Amino acid sequence: MKLLALLALITLSACSVNPSQRSPSSILSESTRISLDGDAREDLHIDAKVLKDDLNGHSFREFILQAQARGYGKIVFDPNYSTFRSFSMTDSTSIAGDFFLLIGTKFSGDDETIRRGDYDDVYETARRLSWLKFRVIINLVASVDDLRSALANRNPTIITWTSHGNETGFYDFNQIKVPPSIFKNTSPSVYQFILTACNGFSAMQDTYKPHIPATMKYWSWDRLVYHPTDLKKLLEDNTIWNPFMHYPGELTYKNLVCKKSGERYQITHARELLPIGGGTYDNVENCNYIVANSNDHFVCYREGEKWQIYNKKHRKVIAGTAFDNNYDCNSRISNTYAKKVCRRVASDDKFHFIDGETNVVSTESFDGLNACYDHLNTLSE
């Protein structure tokens, strides 16, 4: 059965491999509080926290174009680094792993120009993966050598490659066809490969598949690439894609780990090996997804058909925090400020915040969720 056509980052009006190059330019945004001072020969490392606090889709586009104009080819959003430094693909990491967004298309006025709106989706992709504790590497001028380096990565790795393509292959930024043999020596840590190129499914099946290791799951599609929001939609739909499919090894994060419980999996306190409640998961991928979304104080917990916020320190579900789906619950705890999270309280139908350390509900109340979080933002400054 053909794999679903799932991903695209760049709008393509043609799939030829002879685009003319155009030098991008942009005006600095006053609201973008990121310095581009540094050595452009190195990669640009940024604390992933800016994806949450400092950037939005519009300023992200301006920032990307500024970085290109300065000569940066690779931008790394990493929770461990906030300064300029050389980047090694073999650096060990305590986060979930590395997510590569490798873009192998040139820019031109009449071909696959990245539209202003497309940057909103690229930004949302980077932000969503940073929530899952992945180090996000965006390479704007990806070459065959860049792909070869990513395929040799020692950390758990997902690679998304976006470029021109046809039924026999796909091409890099220098219009060089990516050789099939590039997959021969793929690291066992590279467990997903997502090809976003025209007619990519045919190319993967007919040209590259004989060299792809069984440990690496891949996606591609057999059509022209037109939809830049596909990746964003994919990440929102856990029924189709999970970043922990084929994940190599055990994921331990914030003293949580998934352990086998009969034929299912259960979230467990890693040091004490005590399970969190009685909830179990059909597979380790879904269980790992919950672990990766946790933080120092909270994790989402499934109770029947609803999701609730669980206080890890006090080892109890926070009453009144029922959500219809996992994504809404995880989004709520991702906005934890000053060790506190906001929720609606049934007694007065207003929003209060819960202290992760004490599990006490605030006496202060707010008419809306945003007002509650605005208050927490002032506490975390």
User: What string of DSSP letters covers 331-371?
Assistant: HHHHT-BTTEEEEEETTTTEEEEEETTT-PBPS--BSSHHH
**Per-residue confidence (pLDDT) for residue 32, from 0 to 100:** 34
Residue 115: inside a domain? yes
**Per-residue confidence (pLDDT) for residue 238, from 0 to 100:** 67
**Per-residue confidence (pLDDT) for residue 229, from 0 to 100:** 61
Q: 329 with 300: CB under 8 angstroms? A: yes
Residue 324: inside a domain? no
Q: What are phi and psi of 193, to 5 degrees?
A: -135, 125
Residue 342: inside a domain? no
**Per-residue confidence (pLDDT) for residue 367, from 0 to 100:** 93
Number of C-alpha atoms within 13 angstroms, CB side, residue 69?
13
What does the DSSP 8-state code read for residue 183? G
**Per-residue confidence (pLDDT) for residue 24, from 0 to 100:** 27
**Per-residue confidence (pLDDT) for residue 134, from 0 to 100:** 85
Residue 293: inside a domain? no
Residue 27: inside a domain? no
**Per-residue confidence (pLDDT) for residue 65, from 0 to 100:** 73
Nearest to 246 by CA among 187, 190, 169: 190
Give the pLDDT of the chain (381 residues) as one tens digit per residue: 323 322 333 333 334 443 323 222 222 233 333 444 544 446 777 767 666 665 665 677 777 777 777 777 778 877 654 333 333 444 555 578 889 988 887 654 444 445 555 677 777 788 778 777 788 888 878 899 999 999 999 888 999 998 888 999 999 988 899 999 999 999 999 999 988 888 888 999 999 999 999 999 998 878 776 445 666 666 677 677 888 889 888 888 888 999 998 899 999 988 888 888 767 888 898 888 888 888 888 998 887 788 888 888 888 888 766 888 887 888 888 778 888 988 888 788 899 998 988 988 899 999 998 899 889 888 755
Distance between CA 28 and CA 31 in Å, rounded?
9
**Per-residue confidence (pLDDT) for residue 13, from 0 to 100:** 30
Here the CATH number for the domain that contains residue 196 is 3.40.50
Distance between CA 320 and CA 163 in Å, rounded?
47
Enclosing domain of residue 73? 44-236
Residue 274: inside a domain? no
Q: Which H or E run contains 376? A: helix 369-380
Residue 34: inside a domain? no
Mode of pairing for the β-strands spanning 97-103 and 134-139: parallel
What's the whole-model pTM score? 0.73
Residue 262: inside a domain? no
What does the DSSP 8-state code read for residue 89? T
**Per-residue confidence (pLDDT) for residue 304, from 0 to 100:** 78
In 238-253, which positions are buried (b, 16+ CB within 10 angstroms) versus exposed (e)? eeebbbbbebbeebeb
Number of domains composing the chain: 1
